Structure 1
Amino acid sequence: MASLLNFISSALSLFGDMAESCDFVISCAGSSITLPVAPASYDVTAQYHNETVAVNNYGDIRMLGMKGLKSISFSSLLPAQDYSWAHHLTDPWSIVKQIEEYASIVPRQPARLSISGTSINMNVSIDEFKYSQQDCSGDIYYTLTFSEYPYILTKSGIQNEVTGLNSRVAEIKKETTTQVHAGDHLLDVSARVTRGLKIAEQGVKRLKLYKTLIKGGATTGSILVIKDAEKWVKQ
Protein backbone atom coordinates (compact mmCIF):
# COMPACT_ATOMS: atom_id res chain seq x y z
CA MET A 1 0.00 0.00 0.00
CA ALA A 2 2.89 2.34 0.78
CA SER A 3 4.31 1.82 -2.70
CA LEU A 4 0.90 2.65 -4.19
CA LEU A 5 0.71 5.92 -2.24
CA ASN A 6 4.27 6.77 -3.31
CA PHE A 7 3.29 6.16 -6.93
CA ILE A 8 0.22 8.41 -6.58
CA SER A 9 2.35 11.08 -4.93
CA SER A 10 4.89 10.99 -7.77
CA ALA A 11 2.21 11.07 -10.45
CA LEU A 12 0.39 13.99 -8.88
CA SER A 13 3.62 15.93 -8.45
CA LEU A 14 4.19 15.64 -12.21
CA PHE A 15 0.64 16.76 -13.02
CA GLY A 16 0.14 19.05 -10.05
CA ASP A 17 -1.28 21.92 -12.07
CA MET A 18 -4.02 19.70 -13.48
CA ALA A 19 -4.94 18.29 -10.07
CA GLU A 20 -5.07 21.73 -8.47
CA SER A 21 -7.32 23.11 -11.20
CA CYS A 22 -10.12 20.61 -10.58
CA ASP A 23 -12.28 20.87 -7.45
CA PHE A 24 -15.12 18.51 -6.57
CA VAL A 25 -17.55 20.42 -4.35
CA ILE A 26 -20.64 18.98 -2.64
CA SER A 27 -22.94 21.47 -0.94
CA CYS A 28 -26.24 21.36 0.90
CA ALA A 29 -28.20 23.50 3.35
CA GLY A 30 -25.71 26.37 3.35
CA SER A 31 -22.51 24.37 3.87
CA SER A 32 -20.11 22.73 1.44
CA ILE A 33 -17.33 20.16 1.18
CA THR A 34 -14.38 20.43 -1.20
CA LEU A 35 -13.02 16.90 -1.54
CA PRO A 36 -9.36 16.84 -0.44
CA VAL A 37 -8.26 14.50 -3.25
CA ALA A 38 -9.91 15.05 -6.62
CA PRO A 39 -11.01 11.71 -8.12
CA ALA A 40 -8.85 10.60 -11.03
CA SER A 41 -11.99 10.07 -13.12
CA TYR A 42 -15.76 10.12 -12.93
CA ASP A 43 -18.52 8.33 -14.83
CA VAL A 44 -21.68 9.97 -16.13
CA THR A 45 -24.61 7.88 -17.35
CA ALA A 46 -27.33 9.63 -19.36
CA GLN A 47 -30.46 7.53 -19.87
CA TYR A 48 -32.91 7.82 -22.76
CA HIS A 49 -36.02 5.72 -22.39
CA ASN A 50 -36.16 4.30 -25.91
CA GLU A 51 -38.09 1.07 -26.41
CA THR A 52 -38.47 -1.65 -29.01
CA VAL A 53 -42.09 -2.49 -29.81
CA ALA A 54 -43.29 -5.50 -31.80
CA VAL A 55 -45.93 -4.55 -34.39
CA ASN A 56 -48.07 -7.21 -36.06
CA ASN A 57 -47.36 -7.78 -39.77
CA TYR A 58 -44.38 -5.42 -39.56
CA GLY A 59 -41.87 -6.53 -36.96
CA ASP A 60 -39.90 -4.59 -34.40
CA ILE A 61 -39.81 -0.80 -34.44
CA ARG A 62 -37.87 1.55 -32.23
CA MET A 63 -39.78 4.12 -30.20
CA LEU A 64 -37.87 7.16 -29.03
CA GLY A 65 -38.53 7.92 -25.38
CA MET A 66 -37.95 10.94 -23.17
CA LYS A 67 -34.65 11.86 -21.60
CA GLY A 68 -34.02 10.25 -18.21
CA LEU A 69 -32.00 11.42 -15.23
CA LYS A 70 -28.23 11.50 -15.34
CA SER A 71 -26.23 9.58 -12.76
CA ILE A 72 -22.66 10.36 -11.71
CA SER A 73 -20.23 8.23 -9.73
CA PHE A 74 -16.60 8.48 -8.69
CA SER A 75 -14.13 7.01 -6.22
CA SER A 76 -11.27 8.52 -4.27
CA LEU A 77 -9.88 8.69 -0.75
CA LEU A 78 -10.18 10.94 2.29
CA PRO A 79 -6.62 11.19 3.62
CA ALA A 80 -5.82 11.05 7.31
CA GLN A 81 -2.17 11.87 6.61
CA ASP A 82 -0.73 15.19 5.46
CA TYR A 83 0.19 14.06 1.95
CA SER A 84 1.76 16.70 -0.29
CA TRP A 85 -0.79 16.02 -3.04
CA ALA A 86 -3.86 16.41 -0.83
CA HIS A 87 -5.69 19.74 -0.67
CA HIS A 88 -8.32 21.16 1.72
CA LEU A 89 -7.07 18.63 4.30
CA THR A 90 -9.48 17.92 7.15
CA ASP A 91 -10.46 15.03 9.43
CA PRO A 92 -11.75 12.28 7.09
CA TRP A 93 -14.43 11.14 9.55
CA SER A 94 -15.88 14.65 9.71
CA ILE A 95 -16.30 14.54 5.92
CA VAL A 96 -17.99 11.13 6.16
CA LYS A 97 -20.38 12.52 8.76
CA GLN A 98 -21.14 15.59 6.65
CA ILE A 99 -21.88 13.57 3.51
CA GLU A 100 -24.19 11.27 5.47
CA GLU A 101 -25.99 14.33 6.86
CA TYR A 102 -26.42 15.73 3.34
CA ALA A 103 -27.90 12.41 2.20
CA SER A 104 -30.46 12.24 5.02
CA ILE A 105 -31.10 15.89 5.86
CA VAL A 106 -34.54 16.83 7.24
CA PRO A 107 -36.51 18.55 5.82
CA ARG A 108 -35.53 16.67 2.68
CA GLN A 109 -33.66 18.63 0.03
CA PRO A 110 -31.14 17.82 -2.69
CA ALA A 111 -27.44 18.44 -2.51
CA ARG A 112 -25.46 20.13 -5.26
CA LEU A 113 -22.42 18.73 -7.07
CA SER A 114 -19.99 21.03 -8.83
CA ILE A 115 -16.84 19.94 -10.69
CA SER A 116 -14.69 22.89 -11.67
CA GLY A 117 -13.56 23.11 -15.28
CA THR A 118 -16.54 21.02 -16.46
CA SER A 119 -20.21 21.59 -17.23
CA ILE A 120 -21.25 19.62 -14.13
CA ASN A 121 -22.95 21.94 -11.66
CA MET A 122 -26.26 20.39 -10.77
CA ASN A 123 -28.72 19.50 -8.03
CA VAL A 124 -28.37 15.85 -7.07
CA SER A 125 -29.61 13.18 -4.72
CA ILE A 126 -26.92 11.16 -2.93
CA ASP A 127 -27.93 7.61 -3.79
CA GLU A 128 -25.03 5.57 -2.41
CA PHE A 129 -22.01 6.25 -0.23
CA LYS A 130 -19.64 3.31 0.28
CA TYR A 131 -16.47 3.69 2.30
CA SER A 132 -13.82 1.50 3.91
CA GLN A 133 -10.36 1.47 5.42
CA GLN A 134 -7.75 -0.77 3.82
CA ASP A 135 -4.64 -0.29 5.96
CA CYS A 136 -3.37 1.33 9.15
CA SER A 137 -2.92 4.78 7.58
CA GLY A 138 -6.35 5.97 8.70
CA ASP A 139 -7.22 6.92 5.11
CA ILE A 140 -10.81 6.28 4.06
CA TYR A 141 -11.50 4.96 0.57
CA TYR A 142 -14.96 5.72 -0.80
CA THR A 143 -17.32 5.61 -3.76
CA LEU A 144 -20.13 8.12 -4.21
CA THR A 145 -23.10 7.77 -6.55
CA PHE A 146 -25.45 10.65 -7.38
CA SER A 147 -28.55 11.11 -9.50
CA GLU A 148 -29.65 14.31 -11.16
CA TYR A 149 -32.41 16.07 -9.20
CA PRO A 150 -34.63 18.24 -11.44
CA TYR A 151 -36.88 20.81 -9.81
CA ILE A 152 -40.50 20.29 -10.80
CA LEU A 153 -41.82 23.07 -13.01
CA THR A 154 -45.09 24.62 -11.88
CA LYS A 155 -47.27 27.38 -13.25
CA SER A 156 -46.26 30.72 -11.83
CA GLY A 157 -49.33 32.77 -12.62
CA ILE A 158 -46.96 35.35 -14.18
CA GLN A 159 -47.75 36.05 -17.82
CA ASN A 160 -44.85 36.01 -20.26
CA GLU A 161 -44.81 39.35 -22.10
CA VAL A 162 -43.61 37.73 -25.33
CA THR A 163 -45.85 34.67 -25.62
CA GLY A 164 -48.83 35.87 -23.59
CA LEU A 165 -48.79 32.51 -21.78
CA ASN A 166 -48.26 31.80 -18.13
CA SER A 167 -44.56 31.18 -17.49
CA ARG A 168 -43.34 28.03 -15.80
CA VAL A 169 -40.77 28.40 -13.05
CA ALA A 170 -38.76 25.99 -10.95
CA GLU A 171 -39.39 25.41 -7.30
CA ILE A 172 -37.50 28.10 -5.38
CA LYS A 173 -33.91 27.00 -4.85
CA LYS A 174 -32.74 27.89 -1.37
CA GLU A 175 -29.09 27.69 -2.39
CA THR A 176 -26.98 27.45 -5.51
CA THR A 177 -23.29 26.62 -5.82
CA THR A 178 -21.37 28.10 -8.73
CA GLN A 179 -17.80 29.04 -9.57
CA VAL A 180 -16.37 32.17 -11.11
CA HIS A 181 -14.44 30.98 -14.17
CA ALA A 182 -11.78 32.88 -16.09
CA GLY A 183 -13.48 35.34 -18.45
CA ASP A 184 -16.73 35.35 -16.47
CA HIS A 185 -18.38 38.72 -15.91
CA LEU A 186 -20.05 38.86 -12.51
CA LEU A 187 -23.29 39.82 -14.25
CA ASP A 188 -23.11 36.47 -16.10
CA VAL A 189 -22.62 34.68 -12.77
CA SER A 190 -25.68 36.48 -11.41
CA ALA A 191 -27.67 35.44 -14.47
CA ARG A 192 -26.76 31.76 -13.97
CA VAL A 193 -28.00 31.85 -10.40
CA THR A 194 -31.26 33.74 -10.99
CA ARG A 195 -32.27 31.76 -14.07
CA GLY A 196 -35.42 29.83 -13.16
CA LEU A 197 -36.89 32.45 -10.85
CA LYS A 198 -40.14 34.13 -11.77
CA ILE A 199 -39.66 36.34 -14.81
CA ALA A 200 -40.87 39.37 -12.88
CA GLU A 201 -38.18 38.78 -10.23
CA GLN A 202 -35.19 37.90 -12.39
CA GLY A 203 -34.06 41.42 -13.31
CA VAL A 204 -34.20 42.82 -9.78
CA LYS A 205 -32.59 39.76 -8.17
CA ARG A 206 -29.88 39.62 -10.84
CA LEU A 207 -28.85 43.25 -10.33
CA LYS A 208 -28.97 42.94 -6.54
CA LEU A 209 -26.78 39.82 -6.55
CA TYR A 210 -24.38 41.45 -9.04
CA LYS A 211 -23.84 44.39 -6.67
CA THR A 212 -23.39 42.01 -3.73
CA LEU A 213 -20.72 40.01 -5.59
CA ILE A 214 -18.80 43.17 -6.48
CA LYS A 215 -18.85 44.46 -2.90
CA GLY A 216 -17.85 41.03 -1.58
CA GLY A 217 -14.84 40.76 -3.87
CA ALA A 218 -15.79 37.66 -5.84
CA THR A 219 -12.88 36.81 -8.14
CA THR A 220 -11.86 34.17 -10.68
CA GLY A 221 -11.69 30.77 -9.01
CA SER A 222 -14.08 31.69 -6.19
CA ILE A 223 -16.61 28.99 -5.37
CA LEU A 224 -19.83 30.69 -4.30
CA VAL A 225 -22.63 29.20 -2.23
CA ILE A 226 -25.52 31.60 -2.88
CA LYS A 227 -28.60 31.53 -0.66
CA ASP A 228 -32.00 32.68 -1.91
CA ALA A 229 -30.30 34.30 -4.94
CA GLU A 230 -29.04 37.07 -2.66
CA LYS A 231 -26.59 36.18 0.12
CA TRP A 232 -23.40 34.34 -0.65
CA VAL A 233 -20.45 32.66 1.02
CA LYS A 234 -17.05 32.47 -0.69
CA GLN A 235 -15.37 29.07 -0.29
Structure 2
Amino acid sequence: MEIWLKAENESIRIPVLPPEFEVERTAEFDNKRIVKGKKIDVFNGEDLATSTLESFFPYSDNASYCEYSGISNPYSYVETIEGWIENGTIIRYIVTDTSINISCRIKSFTYREQDGTGDVYYKISLQEHNEVKFTRTVENTKKPTTSGNNKRPTKPKTTKEKRYYTVKKGDCLWNISKKYYGKGSDYTKIFNANKDKIKNPSLIYPGQKFVIP
Protein backbone atom coordinates (compact mmCIF):
# COMPACT_ATOMS: atom_id res chain seq x y z
CA MET A 1 0.00 0.00 0.00
CA GLU A 2 1.17 3.53 -0.80
CA ILE A 3 -0.18 6.89 0.34
CA TRP A 4 0.22 9.85 -2.00
CA LEU A 5 -0.56 13.56 -1.89
CA LYS A 6 -0.46 14.73 -5.50
CA ALA A 7 -0.66 18.27 -6.85
CA GLU A 8 -0.47 19.20 -10.51
CA ASN A 9 3.30 19.69 -10.66
CA GLU A 10 4.61 17.99 -7.52
CA SER A 11 3.72 15.13 -5.23
CA ILE A 12 4.62 13.57 -1.90
CA ARG A 13 4.67 9.87 -1.23
CA ILE A 14 4.29 9.43 2.51
CA PRO A 15 7.62 7.87 3.55
CA VAL A 16 6.37 6.24 6.76
CA LEU A 17 2.87 4.79 6.74
CA PRO A 18 0.69 5.92 9.64
CA PRO A 19 -0.50 3.19 12.02
CA GLU A 20 -4.05 3.98 10.90
CA PHE A 21 -6.04 6.34 8.72
CA GLU A 22 -9.71 7.03 8.26
CA VAL A 23 -12.07 8.90 5.99
CA GLU A 24 -15.20 10.41 7.51
CA ARG A 25 -18.32 11.08 5.49
CA THR A 26 -21.35 12.65 7.11
CA ALA A 27 -24.81 13.70 6.02
CA GLU A 28 -26.47 17.04 6.73
CA PHE A 29 -29.97 17.23 8.21
CA ASP A 30 -32.21 20.06 9.36
CA ASN A 31 -34.52 19.33 12.25
CA LYS A 32 -37.91 20.94 11.62
CA ARG A 33 -40.58 21.27 14.28
CA ILE A 34 -44.06 20.43 13.08
CA VAL A 35 -47.50 19.98 14.63
CA LYS A 36 -47.72 19.01 18.34
CA GLY A 37 -44.04 19.62 18.99
CA LYS A 38 -42.81 16.72 16.90
CA LYS A 39 -39.71 17.11 14.76
CA ILE A 40 -38.74 15.73 11.41
CA ASP A 41 -35.32 15.59 9.83
CA VAL A 42 -34.86 17.05 6.35
CA PHE A 43 -31.95 15.64 4.38
CA ASN A 44 -29.74 18.41 2.95
CA GLY A 45 -27.20 16.22 1.22
CA GLU A 46 -23.82 14.74 2.00
CA ASP A 47 -21.21 16.86 3.72
CA LEU A 48 -17.62 17.10 2.48
CA ALA A 49 -15.46 14.12 3.40
CA THR A 50 -12.55 14.63 5.79
CA SER A 51 -9.46 12.59 6.61
CA THR A 52 -6.50 12.86 8.98
CA LEU A 53 -2.97 11.51 8.61
CA GLU A 54 -0.53 11.29 11.53
CA SER A 55 3.02 10.02 11.11
CA PHE A 56 6.54 11.45 10.80
CA PHE A 57 9.03 12.47 8.15
CA PRO A 58 12.24 10.58 9.01
CA TYR A 59 15.58 12.33 9.13
CA SER A 60 17.36 9.34 7.57
CA ASP A 61 16.51 6.18 5.65
CA ASN A 62 15.64 3.25 7.81
CA ALA A 63 14.53 0.12 6.02
CA SER A 64 12.63 -1.05 9.08
CA TYR A 65 9.96 1.64 8.70
CA CYS A 66 10.65 3.70 5.52
CA GLU A 67 8.55 2.72 2.52
CA TYR A 68 11.26 3.65 0.03
CA SER A 69 14.87 4.79 -0.09
CA GLY A 70 16.18 8.19 -1.12
CA ILE A 71 13.80 10.15 1.08
CA SER A 72 14.05 13.94 1.19
CA ASN A 73 14.97 16.13 4.12
CA PRO A 74 11.97 16.30 6.51
CA TYR A 75 11.64 20.05 6.08
CA SER A 76 11.44 19.80 2.30
CA TYR A 77 8.15 17.93 2.83
CA VAL A 78 7.08 20.60 5.32
CA GLU A 79 7.90 23.38 2.85
CA THR A 80 5.89 21.71 0.07
CA ILE A 81 2.83 21.22 2.28
CA GLU A 82 2.96 24.79 3.60
CA GLY A 83 3.12 26.04 0.01
CA TRP A 84 -0.02 24.06 -0.84
CA ILE A 85 -1.82 25.57 2.15
CA GLU A 86 -0.70 29.11 1.31
CA ASN A 87 -1.87 28.83 -2.30
CA GLY A 88 -5.04 26.85 -1.59
CA THR A 89 -3.74 24.14 -3.90
CA ILE A 90 -6.12 21.34 -4.82
CA ILE A 91 -4.43 17.97 -4.37
CA ARG A 92 -5.42 14.34 -4.69
CA TYR A 93 -5.29 12.10 -1.66
CA ILE A 94 -4.63 8.57 -2.89
CA VAL A 95 -4.30 5.34 -0.95
CA THR A 96 -3.42 2.49 -3.27
CA ASP A 97 -5.16 -0.88 -2.87
CA THR A 98 -8.22 1.01 -1.55
CA SER A 99 -11.00 3.08 -3.10
CA ILE A 100 -9.58 6.31 -1.64
CA ASN A 101 -8.83 8.80 -4.41
CA ILE A 102 -10.18 12.15 -3.27
CA SER A 103 -9.78 15.67 -4.59
CA CYS A 104 -9.12 17.81 -1.53
CA ARG A 105 -7.35 20.72 0.12
CA ILE A 106 -5.26 20.71 3.28
CA LYS A 107 -7.38 22.16 6.07
CA SER A 108 -4.69 22.14 8.78
CA PHE A 109 -1.10 21.02 9.23
CA THR A 110 0.90 20.80 12.45
CA TYR A 111 4.43 19.48 12.90
CA ARG A 112 7.07 19.20 15.63
CA GLU A 113 10.35 17.62 16.65
CA GLN A 114 10.25 15.68 19.88
CA ASP A 115 13.10 13.25 20.47
CA GLY A 116 16.27 14.88 19.14
CA THR A 117 16.55 12.48 16.18
CA GLY A 118 15.69 15.10 13.56
CA ASP A 119 12.48 13.29 12.68
CA VAL A 120 9.53 15.65 12.12
CA TYR A 121 6.19 14.44 13.46
CA TYR A 122 3.10 15.82 11.77
CA LYS A 123 -0.67 15.80 11.59
CA ILE A 124 -2.45 16.66 8.34
CA SER A 125 -6.20 17.28 8.11
CA LEU A 126 -7.69 17.02 4.63
CA GLN A 127 -11.09 18.20 3.40
CA GLU A 128 -12.76 17.09 0.20
CA HIS A 129 -13.02 19.62 -2.62
CA ASN A 130 -15.99 19.64 -4.97
CA GLU A 131 -15.56 21.83 -8.01
CA VAL A 132 -18.62 23.64 -9.28
CA LYS A 133 -18.48 25.15 -12.75
CA PHE A 134 -20.70 28.06 -13.66
CA THR A 135 -21.59 28.85 -17.23
CA ARG A 136 -22.88 32.19 -18.39
CA THR A 137 -25.45 32.28 -21.13
CA VAL A 138 -25.63 35.34 -23.34
CA GLU A 139 -28.87 36.10 -25.09
CA ASN A 140 -28.37 36.49 -28.78
CA THR A 141 -30.18 39.65 -29.81
CA LYS A 142 -28.98 39.57 -33.37
CA LYS A 143 -31.47 38.64 -36.00
CA PRO A 144 -30.58 35.38 -37.70
CA THR A 145 -28.97 35.80 -41.03
CA THR A 146 -29.51 33.49 -43.91
CA SER A 147 -26.79 32.24 -46.14
CA GLY A 148 -26.32 29.90 -49.00
CA ASN A 149 -29.47 28.16 -50.16
CA ASN A 150 -31.52 29.72 -47.35
CA LYS A 151 -31.45 33.16 -48.92
CA ARG A 152 -34.75 34.50 -50.07
CA PRO A 153 -34.96 34.54 -53.82
CA THR A 154 -34.56 38.05 -55.06
CA LYS A 155 -36.91 39.35 -57.67
CA PRO A 156 -35.22 39.88 -60.98
CA LYS A 157 -34.83 43.51 -61.82
CA THR A 158 -37.29 44.57 -64.42
CA THR A 159 -36.30 47.15 -66.98
CA LYS A 160 -39.02 49.36 -68.28
CA GLU A 161 -39.29 49.10 -72.04
CA LYS A 162 -38.85 52.37 -73.81
CA ARG A 163 -41.82 53.74 -75.67
CA TYR A 164 -41.49 55.49 -78.98
CA TYR A 165 -43.80 57.68 -80.99
CA THR A 166 -43.47 58.63 -84.64
CA VAL A 167 -44.73 62.12 -85.42
CA LYS A 168 -47.62 62.39 -87.85
CA LYS A 169 -48.85 65.36 -89.84
CA GLY A 170 -50.71 67.79 -87.57
CA ASP A 171 -49.05 66.53 -84.32
CA CYS A 172 -47.64 68.78 -81.63
CA LEU A 173 -45.94 67.98 -78.33
CA TRP A 174 -49.02 69.13 -76.41
CA ASN A 175 -51.26 66.59 -78.14
CA ILE A 176 -48.71 63.78 -77.82
CA SER A 177 -48.31 64.54 -74.09
CA LYS A 178 -52.07 64.52 -73.61
CA LYS A 179 -52.25 61.12 -75.33
CA TYR A 180 -49.66 59.49 -73.05
CA TYR A 181 -49.94 61.41 -69.77
CA GLY A 182 -53.52 62.61 -69.81
CA LYS A 183 -52.56 66.27 -69.88
CA GLY A 184 -50.79 68.39 -72.45
CA SER A 185 -48.84 70.45 -69.92
CA ASP A 186 -46.46 67.48 -69.40
CA TYR A 187 -45.07 67.95 -72.90
CA THR A 188 -41.78 69.11 -71.29
CA LYS A 189 -41.08 65.47 -70.35
CA ILE A 190 -41.01 64.53 -74.02
CA PHE A 191 -39.02 67.63 -74.93
CA ASN A 192 -36.36 67.01 -72.26
CA ALA A 193 -36.00 63.35 -73.28
CA ASN A 194 -35.50 64.24 -76.94
CA LYS A 195 -33.46 67.44 -76.91
CA ASP A 196 -31.07 65.90 -79.39
CA LYS A 197 -33.94 65.88 -81.93
CA ILE A 198 -36.08 68.82 -80.87
CA LYS A 199 -34.53 72.27 -81.09
CA ASN A 200 -37.80 74.13 -80.57
CA PRO A 201 -40.72 72.45 -78.75
CA SER A 202 -43.12 74.33 -81.02
CA LEU A 203 -41.56 72.87 -84.17
CA ILE A 204 -41.71 69.13 -84.77
CA TYR A 205 -41.91 67.35 -88.10
CA PRO A 206 -43.69 64.28 -89.45
CA GLY A 207 -41.48 61.18 -89.41
CA GLN A 208 -39.50 62.18 -86.30
CA LYS A 209 -39.29 59.38 -83.73
CA PHE A 210 -39.40 60.47 -80.08
CA VAL A 211 -38.76 58.56 -76.86
CA ILE A 212 -41.78 58.73 -74.54
CA PRO A 213 -40.35 58.62 -70.95
Amino acid at match of 1:74: L
- Say if 1:109 and 1:99 are closer, same or farther in 2 by CA, change over 3 A: closer
Q: Which residue does the alignment assign to 1:74?
A: 53
Q: Aligned match of 1:151 in 127, 131, 142?
A: 131
Question: C-alpha distance in 2, partners of 1:143/1:109?
Answer: 18
| Residue aligning to 1:101 | 83
Name the counterpart of 2:67.
87
Q: What SS does structure 1 have at the residue aligned with 2:79? A: helix
Q: 2: CA distance between counterparts of 1:23 and 1:148?
A: 19
- State the TM-score, normalizing by the size of structure 2: 0.58
Contact in 2 for aligned 1:74/1:144 (Cα 8 Å): yes
Question: Do structure 1's residue 27 and structure 2's residue 6 form an aligned pair?
Answer: yes
1:51 is matched with 30
Q: Are 2:39 and 1:60 equivalent residues in the alignment?
A: yes
> What CA deviation, in whole Å up to 9, does each residue of 1:41-92 have, x standing for no partner?
1121112111222113251112222111001112001111321120232211
Identity of aligned residues (%): 23
Letter in 2 for 1:130: T
Give the counterpart letter for 1:99 in structure 2.
Answer: I
Runs of 4 or more, structure 1, over 2 Å off, are 153-157
Please list the CA deviations of residues 129-179 of structure 1 after superposition, one character each: whole Å capped at 9, or x if unmatched. Answer: 01111111111111100000011144599xxxxxxxxxxxxxxxxxxxxxx
TM-score relative to the length of structure 1: 0.53
Question: Which of residues 85, 90, 108 is equivalent to 1:128?
Answer: 108
CA distance in 1, matches of 2:96, 2:21: 13
SS in 2 for 1:98: helix
SS of match in other structure, 1:33: strand
Q: Cα offset for 1:102?
A: 1.5
> What is the Cα-based RMSD across aligned positions, in Å?
1.8
- For residues 219-230 of structure 1, the aligned pairs below 5 Å read none
